[in-house]
Structure 1
């Protein structure tokens, strides 16, 4: 295999997963995902994170090819999630004298997932590990997105090994560095990775960005996705935007419909939004589109209009699943509209209003609910709902 270097003595060890369909067994990854580890070959040898266990054999072979029999002295554990610590046990078995480097929360996870660690080095904010000419400085960034998460800053070449922060879905198809790939192609996977995986912890992400701001960072090596060496502002500015809930002037319309009546309401609303000059409108059937993609656009656009038919006196199940996830994510600062229909009893709109009451978003109009097929009166109410949303969007 090609050896990829970040610096004279720092190697990229990354592997493309094109087989897994669901990341964390939840989120679709049609473009796959990469698992990235890094090796520092100095007077002392250090690995920074490992890889998913499916790649252990290739990982150990590639380490051997670089070190030619030398042992690994340190394993720096920035993040303990198993897609990055999956080879930890294999590394410890191959290098029994290795020292595991982590913060005070790290080693409890090591014991819980793998084994009771023997040789450990506990580090804190601003701790430095000297490997020779290479020095690693550590900073904890808890809840981005696990409590033990930290980053390692290589002082000589000014490389930030950032764990999951600034990562991405998508395999690295030949290009490993950001200036070797088409960023436009990767942008949606980068955002979806943030919104699906890190997005619940936006306030913690903001704290991490501020905490790391004093560092002179020339390169970022995340545990997924490309290595950033040229377009750092591209990814840093986007993370700052997304983690402050800064949105674009568009509207996401989502509906759950059994027999098409609630869908007709969604179509009326969407058309009127367009008539009013809203360019970015995304209409989703909650039964067809995975919530991963819908949540991504909810983060992206200011307006959210959601509709549900009644289903056993409750919300339509796929709408309820989406709404539960949005609540879990803690998304803030949006404009909200609600609509729906029922046949013999209500439940869809009533339960959507519980979400409206709890989420803290601004309701742009009263909810619109129709019995059976869409008729003239509620058709006009759908127009008014769309107009109220457009008025708010266009005024910002």
Structure 2
């Protein structure tokens, strides 16, 4: 049985959700599941915008068949060739042998890589600014390379002023009937998943996202239909404001995130003492995470949110504690910048973690590293409280202005 919803009078949502998948890309935990969005346009010509992951194939096929209601499929717009969206393309092309695959040139090559099939004869290759009339609607194609794959494009429907945005403006989380942003409490319920999705999936490509935002600014957009998460038709300003900050690596909140690694609780104790000092000095909404217990995708997302970071870790096998090192590697790979960072290290003998952490931070762009690094010997000593207080003073002064 189908589970479709009308987006407009002639645009139908035919996607679905997976609540069984535990990790997106077999990497990022998704306790709330994920949606795979796809849309059918019923104009003089019919159009299918992207497909879905194989995990929801049965539901997806039923939805598409119901939406078309016996009509042939004329065009299938393929904006992104990642398997969570392209897995059903081969099936759709076989079911609808007259359909043309509308895509970028790079997508044709990727299709051959995934399916071992040359679709050049069925492909309508488009480039920046090309348009396709389907009757009452005119589709305007905008290239969006490296948001977040090189073949990506987005599609603007000039009639209904809808941007089909590929992976841009998406979020983790399954949809439960309510597919529009004004049917859910996005800011409180969904924002953390939206941030975590952006930071970990798209975060590295801020320059490319900025280029797409500039192109989008020239379009009169009243609705955004992404490939994951809710459709935006009301509070587009909120979404665009967040993307502006995230893509320029501007912190959302002036506060302190303390990420610590601890073996026997001594480094954690130092982090707790510092957090108490910060709170006494008026710093609000302090975030604190044990890097061994918190998935690195959460740490990355919080690093995109917070203006100041305190990283505390012991030396481990003459290096940085592995979970802290993995986190540092991730934020470097994802191009995080424009943050102020303080370092606390701990070592009973041959303490080297602090210097190595600073070395990794120095390899990142526009990171301000505070000079008063604190080095603990086994456990926080009474005579180190003054140094910790000085660090808290410096952080509080910057955060509180």
TM above 0.5: yes
Q: Matched residues in 1 for 2:156 and 2:368: separation?
A: 41
Q: Matched residues in 2 for 1:217 and 1:263: separation?
A: 48
Deviations along 1:257-309, whole A, 9 cap, x unmatched? 11112112111211111111110211111001111111111111100010110
Is 2:385 aligned against 1:384?
no
Deviations along 1:149-193, whole A, 9 cap, x unmatched? 110111111111001111111111221111111222112111211
Is 2:321 aligned against 1:308?
no
Q: Matched residues in 1 for 2:215 and 2:396: separation?
A: 38
**What secondary structure, in the 3-state scheme, does the structure 2 residue paired with 1:233 have?**
helix
Q: Matched residues in 2 for 1:176 and 1:356: separation?
A: 40
Tell me how many residue pairs correspond in the alignment. 395
Q: Which moved more, 1:278-287 or 1:360-369?
A: 360-369
TM-score normalised to the size of structure 1?
Answer: 0.97
Q: Matched residues in 1 for 2:68 and 2:335: separation?
A: 46
Q: Matched residues in 2 for 1:65 and 1:170: separation?
A: 25
Q: Matched residues in 1 for 2:4 and 2:316: separation?
A: 56
Q: Which moved more, 1:256-265 or 1:325-334?
A: 256-265
What residue in structure 1 maps to residue 91 of structure 2?
Answer: 90
**What secondary structure, in the 3-state scheme, does the structure 1 residue paired with 2:310 have?**
strand
Q: Matched residues in 2 for 1:346 and 1:332: separation?
A: 27
Q: How does 1:1-396 map to 2 (within 5 A)?
A: 1-114=2-115, 115-117=117-119, 118-183=121-186, 184-247=188-251, 248-359=253-364, 360-395=366-401
**What secondary structure, in the 3-state scheme, does the structure 2 residue paired with 1:238 have?**
helix
- Asked if the contact 1:255/1:306 (under 8 Å) is kept, the reply is yes
Quote the offset at 1:389 in angstroms: 1.8
Greater than 4 Å deviation, 4+ residue runs: none
**What secondary structure, in the 3-state scheme, does the structure 1 residue paired with 2:101 have?**
strand
- Asked if the contact 1:249/1:280 (under 8 Å) is kept, the reply is no
**What secondary structure, in the 3-state scheme, does the structure 2 residue paired with 1:280 have?**
coil
- Asked if the contact 1:369/1:378 (under 8 Å) is kept, the reply is no
- Asked if the contact 1:252/1:301 (under 8 Å) is kept, the reply is yes
Quote the offset at 1:2 in angstroms: 4.5
**What secondary structure, in the 3-state scheme, does the structure 1 residue paired with 2:57 have?**
helix
Q: Matched residues in 2 for 1:276 and 1:379: separation?
A: 15
Deviations along 1:236-259, whole A, 9 cap, x unmatched? 121112222222110110111111
- Asked if the contact 2:148/2:202 (under 8 Å) is kept, the reply is yes
TM-score normalised to the size of structure 2?
Answer: 0.95
Q: Matched residues in 2 for 1:66 and 1:175: separation?
A: 18
Please list every run of 5 or more consecutive structure 2 residues that lacks an aligned counterpart in the other structure. Answer: none
Q: Matched residues in 1 for 2:3 and 2:105: separation?
A: 36
Please list every run of 5 or more consecutive structure 1 residues that lacks an aligned counterpart in the other structure. Answer: none
- Asked if the contact 1:141/1:150 (under 8 Å) is kept, the reply is yes
Q: Matched residues in 2 for 1:107 and 1:66: separation?
A: 26
Q: Matched residues in 2 for 1:130 and 1:178: separation?
A: 29
**What secondary structure, in the 3-state scheme, does the structure 1 residue paired with 2:135 have?**
coil
Quote the offset at 1:35 in angstroms: 0.5
- Asked if the contact 2:173/2:193 (under 8 Å) is kept, the reply is yes
